[in-house]
């Protein structure tokens, strides 16, 4: 019997488990641990070991990490930075804040950068950001080849892809420098957080200096993030049983600055809020560490749920991620942060699932630069620049794979989707 009233969410801090909530509760009552402590060094050390990287430097978001990387590269003002469309404004903004120019490259049907388009655009820049979208590694053989031919510096955007592998090698180890995100709906989460990693000593030392220079965010900002898992678990999710009440609580608590927003209004206009760029506070490093210890369990679960979706939706009207030369999801280095599928009525499906079934299906990305109310002109994106990204944005939806999705939840989602097959 399917329970239609249990809310299923893809984006409300999906990785939070009881032990994360207990940790956050303890932290709320031990404010002296918020700034100082050994957690930052421990997390950075664990990342160095995990990626076999010489340097790992933490920041309070992927955004701050990317901004620091761009600053560390010391590019002349106005330099172009190659990046794919079908992305988030959190990638474009650090480029703009650093006084640089995004150079948009179209994406392919697998949601990653389109290799022929990259080859054609490579001459326009010295730097390339490669995004591993939804946890699927970009084709790093080709990317590295093009970068070598054109002397491009590669920044790997691993915000979706901690633990993903290309040809058996972890993403984040192919380029000159990489960054990861611990924001609320990423692979692991401390509500906000990020890490930059590199084997290049010069870049590593500059990143360390920038981490010092940025300093930590305010205590009130840190408190907002610590409160998040607690309020989510005890208040928000129970209220989501009654659709609008959960949403009202979320909007109200964001309005009252009790909880943070994932993306601020300013950022949708290309502006920089004052809590970026900053270093990672000790409390958030503790929360990220607790999640990092569960990384393998999280990613194994994601692959298992993805396999189920794949088996159920293959051969239907939904486009499933059948990847070149790959039998099924388990056989690939994709960690499936989300199981992205396509359908001509994608936006209608997302709306119906939420309004009628209490299922929040993912909308990454219903616009070439998400979220949908981002001002494209402020992102220096001109409609028509990347036709395939625009096309995919109209027909993409993504399904939850996170640790709190049970096989029964996945069955309920598939049951709903089958109305559209």
CB 102, CB 63: distance < 8 Å: no
Q: End-to-end CA distance of the chain, in Å?
A: 22
Footprint on residues 91-130 left by ligand PLP (CB under 6 A): 91
**Which of 199, 251, 238 is CA-nearest to residue 53?**
199
d(CA 18, CA 159): 24
Kindly state whether residue 87 participates in binding ligand PLP, applying the rule CB under 6 A.
yes
d(CA 175, CA 153): 7
d(CA 66, CA 44): 16
Nearer to ligand PLP, 37 or 273 (CB): 273
Q: From the CB of 16, what's the least distance to ligand PLP, in Å?
A: 16
Kindly state whether residue 84 participates in binding ligand PLP, applying the rule CB under 6 A.
no
Asked if residue 277 has a cis previous peptide bond (ω within 30° of 0), the answer is yes
Kindly indicate which of the ranges 146-154, 156-164, 295-303, 304-312 contains the residues binding ligand PLP, using the contact rule CB under 6 A.
Answer: 156-164
Q: Which residue is nearest to ligand PLP (CB)?
A: 62
Q: From the CB of 208, what's the least distance to ligand PLP, in Å?
A: 19
Among residues 14, 172, 194, 277, the one that binds ligand PLP under rule CB under 6 A: 194
Nearer to ligand PLP, 11 or 199 (CB): 11
Among residues 88, 105, 155, 207, the one that binds ligand PLP under rule CB under 6 A: 88
Nearer to ligand PLP, 37 or 371 (CB): 371
Q: From the CB of 160, what's the least distance to ligand PLP, in Å?
A: 6
DSSP assignment, residue 323? Answer: -
Among residues 112, 117, 181, 396, the one that binds ligand PLP under rule CB under 6 A: 181
Q: Which residues pair with 165 in a beta bridge?
A: 170
d(CA 202, CA 147): 20
Element (H, E) at 312: helix 295-313
d(CA 366, CA 378): 18
Footprint on residues 58-77 left by ligand PLP (CB under 6 A): 61-63
Kindly state whether residue 157 participates in binding ligand PLP, applying the rule CB under 6 A.
yes
Q: From the CB of 376, what's the least distance to ligand PLP, in Å?
A: 17
Nearer to ligand PLP, 47 or 416 (CB): 47
CB 59, CB 196: distance < 8 Å: yes
CB 230, CB 259: distance < 8 Å: no
d(CA 242, CA 378): 37
d(CA 377, CA 257): 29
Among residues 55, 71, 160, 303, the one that binds ligand PLP under rule CB under 6 A: 160
CB 42, CB 285: distance < 8 Å: yes
Nearer to ligand PLP, 272 or 345 (CB): 272
Q: From the CB of 288, what's the least distance to ligand PLP, in Å?
A: 11
Kindly state whether residue 374 participates in binding ligand PLP, applying the rule CB under 6 A.
no
Residue ranges in 125-271 assigned as alpha helix (H) = 140-150, 201-214, 219-231, 237-239, 244-255, 265-268
Q: Which residues pair with 90 in a beta bridge?
A: none
Q: From the CB of 194, what's the least distance to ligand PLP, in Å?
A: 5
Nearer to ligand PLP, 85 or 417 (CB): 85
Among residues 9, 15, 183, 367, the one that binds ligand PLP under rule CB under 6 A: 183
Q: From the CB of 217, what's the least distance to ligand PLP, in Å?
A: 13
d(CA 285, CA 210): 18
Q: How many residues of this chain bind ligand PLP (CB under 6 A)?
A: 14
Kindly indicate which of the ranges 36-44, 142-150, 157-165, 215-223 contains the residues binding ligand PLP, using the contact rule CB under 6 A.
Answer: 157-165
Q: Which residues pair with 154 in a beta bridge?
A: 128
Residue numbers at the binding site for ligand PLP (CB under 6 A):
61-63, 87-88, 90-91, 131, 157, 159-160, 181, 183, 194
């Amino acid at each position: 019997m399917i329970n239609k009233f249990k809310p299923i969410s893809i984006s409300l801090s999906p990785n939070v488990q009881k032990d994360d909530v207990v940790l956050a509760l303890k932290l709320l009552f031990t404010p002296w641990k918020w700034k100082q402590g050994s957690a930052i060094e421990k997390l950075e050390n664990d990342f160095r070991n995990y990626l076999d990287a010489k340097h790992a430097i933490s920041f309070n978001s992927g955004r701050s990490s990317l901004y620091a990387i761009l600053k560390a590269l010391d590019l002349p003002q106005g330099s172009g930075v190659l990046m794919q469309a079908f992305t988030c404004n959190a990638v474009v903004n650090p480029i703009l804040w650093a006084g640089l120019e995004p150079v948009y490259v179209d994406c392919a049907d697998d949601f990653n950068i389109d290799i022929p388009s990259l080859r054609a655009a490579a001459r326009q820049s010295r730097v390339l950001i490669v995004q591993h979208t939804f946890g699927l590694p970009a084709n790093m053989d080709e990317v590295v080849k093009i970068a070598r031919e054109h002397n491009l510096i590669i920044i790997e955007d691993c915000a979706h892809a901690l633990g993903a592998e290309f040809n058996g090698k972890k993403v984040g180890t192919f380029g000159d420098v990489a960054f990861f995100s611990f924001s609320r709906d990423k692979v692991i989460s401390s509500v906000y957080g990020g890490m930059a990693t590199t084997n290049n000593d010069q870049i590593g030392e500059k990143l360390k200096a920038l981490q010092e220079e940025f300093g930590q965010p305010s205590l009130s900002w840190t408190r907002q993030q610590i409160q998040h898992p607690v309020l989510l678990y005890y208040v928000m999710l129970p209220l989501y049983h009654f659709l609008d009440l959960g949403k009202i609580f979320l909007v109200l608590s964001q309005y009252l600055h009790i909880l943070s927003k994932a993306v601020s209004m300013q950022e949708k206009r290309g502006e920089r809020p004052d809590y970026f760029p900053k270093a990672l506070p000790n409390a958030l490093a503790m929360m990220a560490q607790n999640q990092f210890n569960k990384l393998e369990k999280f990613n194994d679960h994601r692959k298992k749920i993805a396999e189920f979706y794949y088996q159920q939706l293959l051969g239907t009207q939904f486009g499933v991620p059948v990847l070149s030369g790959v039998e099924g999801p388990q056989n690939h280095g994709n960690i499936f942060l989300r199981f992205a599928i396509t359908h001509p009525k994608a936006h209608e499906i997302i709306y119906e699932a939420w309004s009628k079934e209490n299922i929040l299906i993912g909308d990454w990305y219903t616009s070439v630069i998400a979220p949908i109310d981002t001002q494209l002109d402020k992102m220096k994106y001109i409609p028509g620049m990347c036709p395939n990204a625009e096309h995919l944005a109209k027909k993409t939806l993504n399904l939850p794979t996170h640790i709190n999705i049970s096989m029964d939840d996945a069955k309920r989602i598939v049951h709903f989707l089958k109305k559209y097959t």
